[in-house]
Structure 1
Amino acid sequence: MRVLFAAHAEKTHFLGMVPLAWALQTAGHEVRVASQPELTQVINRAGLTAVPVGKDHRFAMVLKLNAMRDEAPEFEFGEDRAEVLTWEHLKWGYGEAVPWWWRVVNDTMIDDLVAFSRWWRPDLIVWESITFAGAIAATACGAAHARFNWSIDLFGRMRARYVRLRDEQPPHDREDVLAEWLAAKAGRFDEEMTTGHFTIDTVPPSLRGDPELGLDLGLRQVPVRYVPYNGPAAVPGWLREPAERPRVCLTLGTTAIERLDGYAVSVGELLDALGDLDVEVVATLPEEQQAKLGAVPGNARLVTFAPLNALAPTCAVVIDHGGPGTLFTTLSHGVPQLVLPNIFDEPFLAAYLEKNGAGLTLPTREASGERVREQVVRLLADPSFAKGARSLWEHDMLALPTPNEAVPELERLALTHRGNGR
């Protein structure tokens, strides 16, 4: 079987797909990964064959400029208040998201991806959740295609609401900019181009099935266990030595620096607040961010990078932003977290941890140094949080099949759905 992964050039999202690509390759299938040229080295360093397509998109620049000017659209895919989710609001939101976001990250790769797919003839195309270019290419070459979710399915939930409200409108007011764009690129449109023939999902069962989130969308799901992969890395010497004091990791993700205009909280304030605790604070910060801090407390170690899969198991507490890669990697080692959520899926993931006794959460707007210190002290003093984190990993995340165990189901579904348009 030939399997093509399609991911626009967003490193953190692509890394979540790598263990599944490895599993398919190990099972003897031919695997290729298509993305804009920017991601080529990342793909190769993961031991996979890259197919550079099109030109690099400029979304990072657009997003950063908008953040600096406070001009980013305010449509939230995580919104769930019925009084807000009117047809006019959803129509406006999709009118913003499609041209400002989804077209920017997809349009530069579509033509080359379609041409490659028609030439290589994959049996299955796995596309990262908003890399709609993968669905367009599958439509063009007749491949089965699957959407890969790297977090809870807020995109699918909002799309379902959009379609339901759209179909309640009079015929002259059923605007659908996403369907119109996809139809223009593929020559036709069906709703599976937004969801895949099936969805590959690494979200733990209790989170995906939480009735309060409304994520049961009636879609064909292939659950796959989250496997931590942070990219190629080396374990530094200091990390191979036992910590002399409880270790607290502070990691706020790469997106805030690479894509936005900085962190949503003051790192210097947090380090100062933790400075009198009998702990070792390891803060992962780019060099330019370290230079802005000036003097830091004596119990703080600043590093530009440390593989979280190696760092987390040495920690007593991890303070993070609640991104799925960071949160699930930390959870896989049974380490309690203090999550400082800000946007998109982060508040939902933080609530999942807190609800299950695996950590605490403070929204960024409340995350003063004093409040963070109080919560860290509480996490260190109460062993129930570590127990809750271990239980959540053992009884929820481990309940999912490994990528290797999921391969036979992917083979079956690819055989079932491939062929249209060949």
Structure 2
Amino acid sequence: MRVLLAAPSATARLHTLVPLAWALRSAGHDVKVAGRPEFVEEILRTGCVAVELEDGDPALTESAKLVEFAHLWRPDAVVSNAPAGIAAARAVEAKAVRVLGPADEPDDAADLTLDVVPPSLRDSPGQPLRHVPYFGPVEVPTWLRRKARRARVLLSLNDPSWYEPLFRAMSNVDIELVCAAELPAGLELPQKVKLVDSAPPAAVLPTCAAVVHDGDEALALAAVAYGLPQLSLTESAFGTRVTAASAGLSGAADEISRLTDETLRAGANALRAEVAASPAPRAVVAALAS
């Protein structure tokens, strides 16, 4: 079977597709991943075969070149989380498959909708697909080979203004807060904060007790898959659902003191069990081939 994946120029969206792409290749299917020229290098980093599309916007809302390549290659299925993928599938009468990530909403455009978000976190879920967190190639850092003295919490922020209130709020919390970032000038580093050169989530998350972020939905979904309570410092639709499931907190920095609550741990473990019960990518491959 020939399968064409259409990847918008967003790393998190590409990474959502990668475990399924690997499962298809491992099952012996011919897989190619199409994307904009500036995104080809990112596709190649996943170990997949890339097809360069010279037109279309970064979100691949539409792309004549994708349709043109589909006519040339004649895929049996087009898998995407971009509208252009559905259009390309329709143009060559291939199966149109949509993969939903945490930022996506279901619709009826595709023949098959696969959903990596646990059903309890989605109002109208598609066919479940187990989320396998993927963040690209990583190397286990040397510091991670030493056992943490306290419960480890991964901190990942895009907005540096959160560092000061977070550091102030954790003064009475018995955790080791790990972050890889350039801190604002003049900010005093608390003893419980471990500043490192690299903290790749794929390597660090399995050693953590919780996660703190400011709305990174890819990291939030990975925390769900690992069964980790999380604090989202900004509001998002996905973060609100995690909070409603008693697996996370959102809003104020001082909520970090509650991350080790047993109620949150129980909620996070329930979501992890839900993810684990979903069909693995290799199990879904058969549905694509039918």
- Would the TM-score normalized by the shorter structure come out above 0.5? yes
Seen in structure 2, the aligned counterparts of structure 1 residues 38 and 304 have a Cα distance that, compared at 3 Å, is farther
Distance 1:293 1:267 in 2: 11
> What is the 5 A alignment of 1:26-45?
26-45=26-45
Seen in structure 2, the aligned counterparts of structure 1 residues 199 and 304 have a Cα distance that, compared at 3 Å, is farther
Larger relative helix fraction = 1
Distance 1:299 1:117 in 2: 54
Instruction: Judge conservation of contact 1:248–1:316 (CA < 8 Å) in 2.
Output: yes
Percent identity over paired residues: 36
Distance 2:120 2:183 in 1: 42
Root-mean-square deviation (CA, aligned residues, Å) is 2.4
Q: SS in structure 1 opposite 2:259? A: helix
> What is the 5 A alignment of 1:271-420?
271-275=167-171, 277-285=173-181, 290=182, 292-297=184-189, 298-303=191-196, 305-342=198-235, 346=236, 348-362=237-251, 367=252, 372-373=253-254, 375-380=255-260, 382-394=261-273, 396-412=274-290
Partner of 1:20: 20
Seen in structure 2, the aligned counterparts of structure 1 residues 228 and 133 have a Cα distance that, compared at 3 Å, is same
Q: Which has the larger radius of gyration?
A: 1
Partner of 2:163: 267
Provide, for residues 84-107 of structure 1, a one-character-per-residue CA deviation record: whole Å limited to 9, x for no partner. Answer: xxxxxxxxxxxxxxxxxx6xx445
Instruction: Judge conservation of contact 2:138–2:202 (CA < 8 Å) in 1.
Output: no
Distance 1:301 1:133 in 2: 44
1:222 and 2:118 equivalent?
A: no
Q: TM-score, normalised by structure 1?
A: 0.63
Provide, for residues 116-173 of structure 1, a one-character-per-residue CA deviation record: whole Å limited to 9, x for no partner. Answer: 1111110100111xx22212222222222111111264363xxxxxxxxxxxxxxxxx
Report how far residue 112 of structure 1 moved. 1.8
Report how far residue 329 of structure 1 moved. 1.3
Seen in structure 2, the aligned counterparts of structure 1 residues 54 and 264 have a Cα distance that, compared at 3 Å, is same
Unaligned runs of 5+ in 1: 60-101, 157-191, 257-262, 413-422
1:203 and 2:92 equivalent?
A: no
> What is the 5 A alignment of 1:141-220?
141-151=92-102, 153-154=104-105, 156=107, 195-208=109-122, 213=123, 215=124
- The more displaced of 383-392 and 298-307 is 298-307
Instruction: Judge conservation of contact 1:37–1:56 (CA < 8 Å) in 2.
Output: no
Distance 1:377 1:330 in 2: 18
Which 4+ residue blocks in structure 1 deviate beyond 6 angstroms? none
Instruction: Judge conservation of contact 1:9–1:35 (CA < 8 Å) in 2.
Output: yes
Distance 2:120 2:71 in 1: 40
Partner of 2:68: 115
Report how far residue 308 of structure 1 moved. 1.1
Instruction: Judge conservation of contact 2:5–2:78 (CA < 8 Å) in 1.
Output: yes
Larger relative strand fraction = 2
Q: SS in structure 2 opposite 1:50? A: strand
Distance 2:258 2:249 in 1: 9
Match of 1:236 among 141, 149, 173: 141
Unaligned runs of 5+ in 2: none
Instruction: Judge conservation of contact 1:222–1:406 (CA < 8 Å) in 2.
Output: no
Instruction: Judge conservation of contact 1:146–1:196 (CA < 8 Å) in 2.
Output: yes
